[in-house]
């Protein structure tokens, strides 16, 4: 007999895994509800050209892509932003702004597996479209942090590291970095924590930067906001960005997230399309990959959909977040499968028992019953072993008086209850 396993990088979700996934999804949806976002979704299969147009041809190596039976080049979605841009680009004139949309969809990337990274994952995407105010940027990050708070995490567990592409760009230009060199410099800075400094310098020299400019570019990643102010005190454009960052941080403090946020110019987000504030959220102990990341991308709609609207958003995967919840002992335990088990004490009571099952289910309770006749003791033991807390015993003597026996499987106690009062009794107990 051939035994098959899940494909590398893909997960099976047993009931206990689904409970933990639901814990994350519940927090995602509740945060979206509190912040006034509407849910959308799109197809898991899109045109390959949509992703190439956004990220360049090198993205193909990271995709599950193929030619479909109609001869179209397609790919399983690796991210949601291109789908969002495509969908909104078709209806942007009809919708009141700002548009606040969220999705909780499955993504696929053909990548090397490691802790916190698989070849499939679920992702919360939250985007605000049609708004230029920096308060929108602060509100977006607050929504991401609210997810952590809903899951029982605090500023001692996670930190949002923030920066601004405009600040870094203007400082790099002042050093002598050209517009053509900027994407590579961003990429080097983005990886500067994970690569040796000598290797970073070499990569910067390889694109034509002088040794001094390469050193200065990396030194920018260590500066605080105050050091940027002192260094560029006479630069009005940089001062303007610094003032806006002060407003951004003040708003986050007012939201109650001041202790959750720190300025870090190493955060540039590797993707070229970001144009303003960017952020990544990490666990404080630094043991895991980034939990969430995003920022402002004001030019992407024009590039992909031909409509000029500002936008910002983030992607928030379930894999790293699940690892963090396990590490902190906050992962949800498997929920019980049913509220009540209804047991007929003999064959003559089966139809009466099924009627009670139907009444309890219509009242909103989760109800099971034995499909095969066994002894009452065995049925009670099976129900308790499955995590069911209460059992209803339907017997002829009790039913003749309009009663059933309600047993608490946790405490081992029981009481007679009128059938007409059973629903109210069980609903109040829940």
Q: Would the CA dihedral through 363, 367, 370, 374 be positive or negative? A: negative
Tens of pLDDT, residue by residue over 274-323, are 999 999 999 999 999 999 999 999 999 999 999 999 999 999 999 999 99
The C-alpha atoms of residue 102 and residue 126 are separated, in whole angstroms, by 4
Q: Round the average pLDDT of the chain to a whole number and report it.
A: 93
Q: What's the pLDDT at 270?
A: 66
The residue ranges of DSSP E strands in 24-151, in sequence order, are 38-39, 45-47, 65-67, 73-76, 99-108, 120-129
Q: Is residue 10 part of a domain?
A: no
Is 348's pLDDT higher than 90?
yes
Residues 320 and 349 in one domain: no
Q: How far apart are CA 99 and CA 116, in angstroms?
A: 31
Which helix H or strand E contains 35, and what residues bound it? none
Note the Cα 164 to chain centre separation in Å.
23
The kind and range of the H/E element at 342 are strand 340-344
CB 42 within 8 A of CB 357: no
> Which DSSP letter does residue 262 get?
E
Give how many domains the chain has, as a whole number: 2
CATH, residue 411: 3.40.50.800
111 & 198 share domain = yes
Same domain, 220 and 347: no
In a domain, 55, yes or no: yes
* Structural domain for 348, as ranges: 340-429
Q: Is 61 in the same domain as 102?
A: yes
Please state, in angstroms and rounded to a whole number, the distance separating the CA atoms of residues 3 and 138: 51
14: DSSP letter: -
Helices (H), 340-375: 350-362
User: 340 in helix, strand or coil?
Assistant: strand
Q: Are residues 311 and 394 in the same domain?
A: no
User: Is position 9 within any domain?
Assistant: no
If asked whether residues 215 and 83 sit together in one domain, one would say yes
Place of tokens 């920096």: 134
Residues 24 and 164 in one domain: yes
pLDDT for the residue numbered 2: 60
pLDDT at 144 over 70: yes
Q: Are residues 322 and 347 in the same domain?
A: no
Q: Tell me which of 257, 292, 327 is where a domain ends.
A: 327
**What CATH number should be reported for the domain holding residue 73?**
3.30.930.10
Looking at the structure, tell me whether residues 248 and 387 fall in a common domain. no
SS3 content of the chain, % helix, strand, coil (to 5): 45, 20, 35
- Last-in-domain residue among 327, 356, 387: 327
**320 and 361 co-located in one domain:** no
- Residue 333 in any domain: the answer is no
Sheet holding 414-418, edge to edge: 367-368, 340-344, 390-394, 403-408, 414-418
Residue 362 has pLDDT above 90, yes or no: yes
Tokens 């720190």 belong to: 262
Do 272 and 346 fall within a single domain?
Answer: no
Peptide linkage before 100 cis (omega within 30 of 0) = no
pLDDT band at 191 (very low <50, low <70, confident <90, very high): confident
Half-sphere exposure of 250 (CA within 13 A, CB side): 7
pLDDT at residue 261, as a whole number: 98
Write the DSSP string, 105-124: EEEE-----BTTB-SEEEEE
**Could you say which of 327, 357, 389 is where a domain stops?**
327
Q: What is the DSSP letter of 264?
A: -
Q: Is residue 34 part of a domain?
A: yes
Is 4 within a domain?
Answer: no
Q: What is the Cα–Cα distance from 166 to 55, expressed in whole angstroms?
A: 20
Q: How confident is the model at residue 223 (pLDDT cuts 50, 70, 90)?
A: very high
Would you tell me how many other CB atoms lie within 10 Å of the CB of residue 174?
15
State the pLDDT at residue 271: 65
Q: Assign 1 a pLDDT band (cuts: 50, 70, 90).
A: very low
pLDDT tens digits, one per residue of 45-103: 999 999 999 888 889 999 999 999 999 999 999 999 999 999 999 999 999 999 999 99
Q: Which residue has the tokens 């999804």?
A: 25
Structural domain contains residue 103: yes
DSSP string spanning 370-422? -SS---HHHHHHHHHHTT--EEEEE-HHHHHTTEEEEEETTT--EEEEEGGGH
- From the list 42, 276, 27, the residue with the least C-alpha distance to 146 is 27
Instruction: Return the residue matching tokens 């009794």.
Output: 425
Strand partners, 250: none
Least Cα distance to 313 among 85, 121, 115, 96 occurs for 85
Same domain, 237 and 379: no
Contact 116, 320 (CB under 8 A): yes
* C-alpha dist (Å) from residue 123 to 39, 151, 292, 358: 13, 16, 9, 37
Q: Check whether 7 has a pLDDT greater than 80.
A: yes
HEC per residue, 158-195: EEEEEEEHHHHHHHHHHHCCCCCCHHHHHHHHHCCCCC
Identify whether 335 is part of a domain: no
80 near 105, Cβ under 8 Å?
yes
Share of the chain above pLDDT 90, in %: 82
Q: In whole angstroms, how large is the CA radius of gyration of the chain?
A: 28
Residue 430 has pLDDT above 70, yes or no: no
pLDDT tens for 225-269 read 999 999 998 889 999 999 999 999 999 999 999 999 999 999 988
């Amino acid at each position: 007999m051939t035994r098959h396993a899940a494909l590398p990088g893909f997960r099976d979700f047993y009931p206990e895994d689904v409970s933990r996934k639901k814990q994350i999804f519940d927090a995602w949806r509740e945060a979206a509800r509190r912040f006034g976002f509407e849910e959308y979704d799109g197809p898991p299969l899109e045109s390959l050209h949509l992703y190439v147009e956004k990220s360049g041809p090198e993205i193909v190596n990271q995709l599950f892509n193929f030619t479909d039976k109609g001869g179209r080049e397609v790919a399983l979605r690796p991210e949601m932003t291109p789908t969002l841009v495509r969908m909104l680009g078709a209806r942007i004139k009809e919708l009141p702004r700002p548009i606040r949309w969220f999705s909780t969809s499955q993504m696929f990337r053909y990548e090397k597996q490691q802790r916190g990274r698989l070849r499939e994952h679920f992702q919360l995407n939250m985007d605000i479209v049609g708004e230029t105010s920096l308060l929108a940027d602060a509100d977006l990050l607050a929504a991401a942090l609210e997810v952590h708070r809903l899951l029982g995490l605090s500023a001692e567990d996670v930190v949002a590291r923030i920066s601004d592409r405009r600040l870094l760009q203007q400082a790099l230009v002042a050093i002598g970095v050209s517009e053509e060199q900027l994407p590579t410099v961003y990429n080097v800075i983005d990886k500067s924590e994970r690569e040796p400094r000598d290797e970073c310098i070499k990569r910067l020299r390889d694109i034509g930067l002088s040794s001094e400019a390469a050193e200065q570019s990396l030194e920018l990643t260590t500066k605080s906001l105050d050091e940027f102010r002192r260094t560029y005190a006479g630069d009005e454009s940089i001062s303007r960005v610094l003032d806006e960052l002060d407003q951004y941080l003040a708003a986050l403090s007012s939201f109650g997230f001041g202790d959750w946020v720190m300025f870090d110019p190493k955060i540039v987000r590797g993707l070229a399309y970001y144009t303003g504030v960017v952020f990544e959220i990490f666990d404080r102990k630094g043991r895991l990959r980034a939990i969430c990341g995003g920022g402002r991308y004001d030019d992407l709609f024009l590039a992909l959909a031909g409509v000029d609207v500002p936008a910002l958003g983030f992607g928030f995967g379930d894999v790293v977040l699940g690892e963090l919840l396990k590490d902190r002992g906050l992962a949800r335990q498997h929920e019980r499968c049913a509220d009540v088990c209804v047991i007929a004490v003999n064959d003559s009571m089966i139809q009466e028992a099924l009627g009670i099952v139907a009444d309890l289910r219509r009242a909103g309770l989760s109800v099971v019953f034995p499909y095969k006749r066994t002894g009452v003791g065995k049925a009670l033991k099976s129900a308790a072993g499955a995590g069911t807390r209460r059992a209803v015993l339907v017997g002829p003597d009790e039913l003749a008086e309009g009663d059933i026996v309600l047993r608490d499987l946790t405490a081992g106690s029981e009481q007679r209850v009128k059938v007409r009062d059973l629903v109210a009794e069980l609903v109040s107990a829940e």
